[in-house]
Structure 1
Amino acid sequence: MPLLSPGSLDAAHLLRLVLLPAVMLAISVSVHIVANNMDFQRDQLAAKEAEVRRVLAVIREREQLLHAVVDSIDVGLVALDAEGRVTLTNRQQQAFAVRAGSRDTAPDLQQERQKIYDGDGVTFLPPADRPVRRAAVKQEVAGQLLWLGEEPQRIAVSATARSIDGQDGDCAGGSVVLFKDVTDQLAKLAAKDDFMSGISHELRTPLTSILAYLELAMEHPDLPEDVAAHLEVADRNAERLLTLISDFLSASAGTLEIRPEPTDLAGVVRSAVQSAAATAAAKNIALDNQVDHELVSAADPARMGQVLDNLLSNAIKYSPAGSTVTLRGWQHAGHSVLEVVDTGYGMDDADRLRVFDRFFRSSSARRSGIHGTGLGLVVAKEIVERHGGTIDVSSALGEGTTFTVTLPAAERRPSGSALGAEVVTSE
């Protein structure tokens, strides 16, 4: 109150009167702001902590789900990081490791003392050649066959490795190696081979008898000319059937014999077209032979006749009535090339990749009810490859199929080769 009396308030008194409250006010405001910021940051930290806990819970849940999934599948799994270190295995892979004699070691099947053998079941497979070690050094592994353990408990597994791309393009990813038990499949294939071998042996005896009686019939002096021609066709096809049965036995034993010589494939094509003409006519299918020039190759004419007979037979079987099967041929880069083209049912990509597998028949063939054994193309591929050639297939479902056979060309022309094109149609 004295300061408020007249004449007692000067600048110094006024400054002292205002300064202290102003300073206290500033301090109070600063403290309040700092306290509010701390409360806000504490709330943010609490929210982030809660979010981290939630994310960790989700990660743990997904990790548990991942382990449950990989442990429930019947395929062994080994995951590798970018440096080739094992980061994950599943229960099935651990069971495979036990089969290999490594109950107390890591299940990646890389241990030297593990009993792991190559596809022949006899050759010991060193660790450097095993799938996980190969995947660790970025090698491609596709269907590598291994045998684990010793008899009578040994099993066969097929291994495949796939690379994993990193999230960053500059950062390399890891790999995943899958091991599948194929013991039962191999046993079934062996049983099928034994079955076919037995059937082939059983069919050979009656066919030999049929051929003998056909030969006697064709030697009859009063045989009409048209009947003799029919008997010759029957005799020729019975001979081919007997050769095919022998080839089944030889192919299963790995003893298919090839005797290449300079051969004009144009003549082989004409013979195959002539043999298939009756079957094509019965289905109203035209056979268009465009091989109208000499096509010399180092080939066994009888074996290549089998290949073309099989390809033509398939083309006719899997083509609708009124369509055309075309045969083309040319030489390119020291090779002779033959094509058999149809406009039939065709195959999808999955069937096309398996068309040369033993006993395989495409889904369109099964749906159509056309009979077959799934062995003809296997034998054809074996014959072509033993010639040093290749056989390829291109197809589209509903658009037809093209088989392409490539053989080494020959320098010398075979003697007595007749040329010419022909179109065989049903009337």
Structure 2
Amino acid sequence: MTDIVEDLKWRGLIAQTTDEDALRKAFADGPVTAYCGFDPTAASLHVGHLTQVLTLRRLQLAGHRPIALVGGATGLIGDPKPSAERQLNEASTVREWVGRIRGQLSAFLDFAAGDDTDAPNAALMANNYDWTENLSAIDLLRDLGKHFSINQMLARDTVKSRLGGEGMSYTEFSYVILQSFDYLELYRRHGCTLQIGGSDQWGNITAGLDLIRRVTGNQPHGQAHAMTTNLLTKADGTKFGKTEGGAVWLDPELTTPYAFYQFWLNADDRDVSRYLRTFSFRSHEEIEELEREAAERPAARAAQRALAEELTTMVHGADQCAAAVEASRALFGQGDLAALDAATLAAAVAELPSAQVAELPTVVDALVATELAPSKGAARRTIKEGGAYVNNTKVVTEDALLTSADLLHGRWVLLRRGKRNLGALELS
């Protein structure tokens, strides 16, 4: 086993632990069984979840046993937001999302651990609906509720922020009891002694520790621990994992592999070092070399490219990553646009400024329609100066007209102004 605590600290992942020295000893004496919960509040996980998913993976690679818990029960309630009450989803919808998210999580962890399903660090998949489905209201209040102090629950930051505004329903107020019950059940059933989560989950996790101590007394499976990871933010102040189109999902139907690849490729130079340490499975030395390259030659974007290829391969597979790389190269004149399949080209076009037309216009009108030029006069100057391209071919005459021969897959025309300004025209 490696010193997983030192590795996580080097990556800037550890925000809080209950007792770092005790946790380090537990890892050394291991294997440790650790879990993280993922509530099905949408049909897919997004890149914001990757920090926790990949931390579980790091623990497994270090010889420990991860449990991926999908909140079939807590997903019906919803972890309280600091701003407003969550909208409750239908039970049938939550059940469907549980299945989707279980499938996504299974791609990151080794649930068989080779050919030995009884290996000490084979991952487990759990659903907290299994132990709450038959829990009566009386049992909840008598067996669990009596261990929770209202004073402590009211002191939680999320609760305080909500009570200062529109208030909070008892449904969301009770969420901490259900999450704490998860830790207790996994402790009882599987000897789970570590819960991880984002730093915003510290209160929920430590409440679970307190419940274990109160219910089990002597802690037959040993001391339980809590560890949280730092929440990622962008250098420009915007939320990590968000683009103009919304969240960056792991489901290829919600965020295409090309868009996923572009998200990482377009990472701010100020952020890429943190992203590499958080998400990459390269060695420390390889990551430090990429950091040096990024500092010395930022225009080359070697760090972003390495990160984009590693994560796209991890999430979507090598073939989809290769297609995304080829599409990215082709769009900027370094590959054959005609060689891209329709699905890959459609995904790439969806990320560009675009316009639909009923019939093919002049290149000048196309440049204006895709907002690559603010006016026809500006479009003509771009052509005259040699800066206009149709499907990566330079336009040489100001009155050039687009024809059916320019259509890619009978549908799209790619336009470029200069080296990096792209737009697309779609024949409707």
TM-score normalised by structure 2 residue count: 0.21
Larger radius of gyration: 1
Normalising by structure 1, report the TM-score. 0.21
Structure number with higher strand proportion: 1
